[in-house]
């Protein structure tokens, strides 16, 4: 089950549509869905998690905690709305386009996709673009 949680004033308006979309991504990648929590927060909230759990003293747009077991996807995906807004500005895309990209990005990590090398990042972007087209 996909749930949306809010630690900031922000909320998504189309939770059912987004949950269905994410579920379809998971199935398309050959996995099964379990409990997935999206937690929307601000920079301060995510920064504290980044320092406490990952020892990274930086701002980030997303942190995902993957509790998946085999082909069963489960985890917590924390997204900084402030960072997404700034990145949307920097990349000259709409806020919602960037938000949806970050949301599917977290799920694709759970499905085994990486983004540390140039080649891995290229594949990740390709997958993100593929699934973003399905949301529209």
Q: Model confidence over 28-57: pLDDT tens digits?
A: 999 999 999 999 999 999 988 888 777 777
The answer to whether the annotation marks 34 as part of a ligand binding site is no
- Model confidence at 136: pLDDT above 70: no
pLDDT digits (tens, 9 = 90+) for 81-119: 999 999 999 999 999 999 999 999 999 999 999 988 999
DSSP H or E stretch at residue 83: helix 81-91
Q: Convert the pLDDT of each residue in 71-84 to its tens digit.
A: 999 999 999 999 99
- Residue 109 in marked binding region: yes
For the cut 90, the answer to whether the pLDDT of residue 125 exceeds it is yes
- Residue 112: give its domain's CATH number: 3.40.390.30
Residue 103's closest CA among 42, 31, 45, 25?
A: 25
What is the distance, to the nearest Å, from the Cα of residue 74 to the centroid of all Cα atoms in its chain? Answer: 13
Q: Are 73 and 107 in contact (CB under 8 A)?
A: yes
Please state, in angstroms and rounded to a whole number, the distance separating the CA atoms of residues 105 and 111: 10
Closest CA to 105 of 85, 81, 69, 78: 78
Average pLDDT over the chain reads: 93
Residue range(s) defining the domain that contains residue 29:
2-135
How many domains does the chain divide into?
Answer: 1
Cα→Cα distances 46→25, 33, 127, Å: 25, 25, 25
Q: Is 56 annotated as a binding residue?
A: no
Q: Which residue has the higher pLDDT, 65 or 55?
A: 65
Measure the CA–CA gap between 39 and 57, rounded to whole angstroms. Answer: 20
């Amino acid at each position: 089950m996909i749930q949306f949680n809010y630690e900031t004033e922000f909320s998504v308006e189309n939770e059912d549509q987004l949950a269905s979309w994410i579920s379809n991504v998971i199935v398309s990648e050959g996995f099964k869905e379990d409990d997935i929590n999206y937690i929307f927060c601000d920079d301060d909230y995510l920064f504290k998690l980044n320092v406490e759990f990952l020892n990274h003293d930086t701002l980030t747009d997303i942190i995902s905690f993957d509790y998946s077991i085999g082909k069963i996807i489960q985890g917590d995906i924390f997204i900084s709305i402030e960072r997404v807004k700034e990145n949307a500005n920097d990349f000259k895309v709409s806020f919602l386009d960037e938000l949806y990209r970050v949301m599917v990005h977290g799920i694709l990590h759970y499905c085994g996709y990486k983004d540390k090398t140039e080649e891995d990042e290229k594949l990740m972007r390709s997958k993100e673009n593929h699934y973003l087209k399905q949301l529209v």
